[in-house]
């Protein structure tokens, strides 16, 4: 009864336990490696990462290497925020990689570019919208289809802006104004719906009248261009001639003013000189008259050249020859 009973484990069971232990260690090692690998992720340049925990937004991270919780607890979405995206309306660029860039249906594209202007005329308008993702969180979670919503906003705004203008403004002089106004209204609606997008540019590519009247419109447009060209030429001649004429007029006016000032100064000098002489004359009339006579002769005689001075009582130019006397003697 007091004997000890010993149980011996079969060798096969020991080997089984050893194998199970090895498998467990391998499983643990694989799990650790997998967890470590799944905890690391990289956000590429020009992008941002949106981190979710059990499907709920946690944070937005910048480009670089980051760590998250493994086993699907944390997930992430990569959103390109620096790349400029594009949407086309009424036309399609061949080879585009983004399927949302244009409408794949030719019929839908034809409908997109058909517009009615404010004066109830028809026009075909092809335009493009360039945009970027500004807020990745809003872009991913606020609206189900942000790119599709942007297409609807763009088409609605463009029809509204075109409908406020005449066909001449749409096709000719008002294109830049239309693009600017459409950009402002699109961005306002994008912010209102919280799409997380920023509209960078709206560009009108082709704006034409309907095909049946396009030839007539082109003729009118050509006539308007010729008129503008002639006006520009006339303005060029005007700008060339008028400044020169104004310069010559200013020059003549300045010369006349200078001459007038000179004459006034001379007249004032003559008056002052006359008044001075008058004062002297009133004091000594005979002396003053003789002095004036002598001064006048002094200034006049040198300019006469050769001079012959004769006596006032002489009867001939050469009295020494006595021609009259000789004639009488004969």
User: What are 53-111's pLDDT values in tens digits?
Assistant: 998 999 999 999 888 888 788 889 999 999 999 999 999 888 777 777 888 888 888 88
Q: Residue 197 pLDDT > 80, yes or no?
A: yes
Confidence of residue 158 (pLDDT cuts 50, 70, 90): very high
Bridge partner list, 59: 51
Confidence of residue 221 (pLDDT cuts 50, 70, 90): confident
Q: What is the dihedral of CA 222, 223, 228, 231, to 10 degrees?
A: 150
What per-residue confidence (pLDDT) applies to 283? 83
What per-residue confidence (pLDDT) applies to 16? 62
Bridge partner list, 61: 49
Give the pair of three-digit tokens for residue 19: 């194998």
- Cα separation, 321 vs 330, in Å, equals 15
What per-residue confidence (pLDDT) applies to 1? 45
Contact (CB, 8 A) for 197 and 153: no
Q: What is the mean pLDDT of residues 271-281?
A: 83
**Listed ranges 154-158, 254-258, 290-294, 317-321; the one with the highest mean pLDDT:** 154-158
Q: What is the mean pLDDT of residues 209-229?
A: 79
Of 35-39, 285-289, 293-297, which range is least confident? 35-39
Per-domain residue ranges of the chain: 11-78, 85-209, 211-291
Q: What is the percent of the chain with per-residue pLDDT over 70, rounded to a whole number?
A: 83
What per-residue confidence (pLDDT) applies to 276? 83
Contact (CB, 8 A) for 197 and 190: yes
- Cα separation, 195 vs 80, in Å, equals 15
Q: What is the mean pLDDT of residues 166-185?
A: 91
- Cα separation, 266 vs 55, in Å, equals 103
What per-residue confidence (pLDDT) applies to 97? 73
Q: Residue 327 pLDDT > 70, yes or no?
A: no
Q: Residue 147 pLDDT > 80, yes or no?
A: yes
What per-residue confidence (pLDDT) applies to 127? 94
Of 91, 170, 92, 88, nearest to 129 by C-alpha is: 88
What per-residue confidence (pLDDT) applies to 173? 84
CATH 3.40.50.300 fits 85-209, yes or no: no
Confidence of residue 140 (pLDDT cuts 50, 70, 90): very high
Query: Which pairing describes strands 197-208 and 122-133: parallel, antiparallel, or unpaired?
Result: antiparallel
Q: What is the mean pLDDT of residues 137-158?
A: 94
Contact (CB, 8 A) for 49 and 76: yes
Q: Residue 29 pLDDT > 60, yes or no?
A: yes
């Amino acid at each position: 009864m007091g004997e000890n009973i010993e149980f011996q484990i079969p060798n096969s069971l020991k080997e089984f336990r050893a194998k199970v232990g090895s498998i467990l260690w391998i499983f643990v090692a694989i799990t650790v490696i997998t967890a470590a690998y799944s905890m690391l992720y990289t956000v590429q340049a020009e992008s941002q990462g949106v981190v979710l925990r059990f499907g709920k937004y946690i944070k937005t991270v910048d480009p670089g290497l980051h760590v998250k919780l493994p086993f699907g607890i944390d997930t992430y979405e990569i959103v390109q925020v620096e790349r400029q995206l594009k949407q086309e309306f009424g036309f399609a660029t061949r080879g585009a990689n983004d399927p949302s860039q244009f409408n794949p249906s030719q019929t839908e594209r034809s409908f997109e570019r058909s517009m009615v202007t404010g004066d109830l005329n028809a026009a075909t308008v092809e335009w493009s919208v360039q945009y970027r993702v500004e807020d990745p969180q809003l872009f991913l979670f606020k609206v189900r289809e942000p790119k599709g919503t942007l297409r609807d906003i763009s088409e609605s705004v463009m029809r509204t802006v075109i409908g406020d203008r005449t066909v001449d403004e749409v096709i000719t002089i008002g294109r830049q104004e239309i693009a600017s106004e459409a950009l402002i209204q699109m961005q306002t609606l994008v912010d209102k719906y919280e799409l997380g997008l920023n509209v960078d540019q709206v560009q009108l590519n082709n704006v034409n009248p309907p095909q049946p009247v396009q030839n007539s419109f082109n003729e009118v447009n050509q006539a308007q261009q010729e008129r503008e060209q002639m006006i520009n030429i006339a303005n060029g001649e005007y700008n060339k001639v008028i400044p020169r004429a104004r310069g010559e007029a200013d020059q003549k006016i300045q010369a006349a003013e200078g001459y007038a000032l000179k004459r006034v100064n001379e007249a004032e000098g003559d008056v002052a000189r006359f008044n001075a002489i008058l004062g002297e004359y009133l004091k000594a009339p005979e002396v003053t008259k003789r002095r004036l006579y002598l001064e006048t002769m002094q200034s006049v005689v040198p300019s006469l050249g050769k001079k012959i001075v004769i006596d006032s009582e002489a009867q001939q130019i050469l009295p020494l020859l006595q021609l009259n006397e000789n004639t009488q003697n004969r």
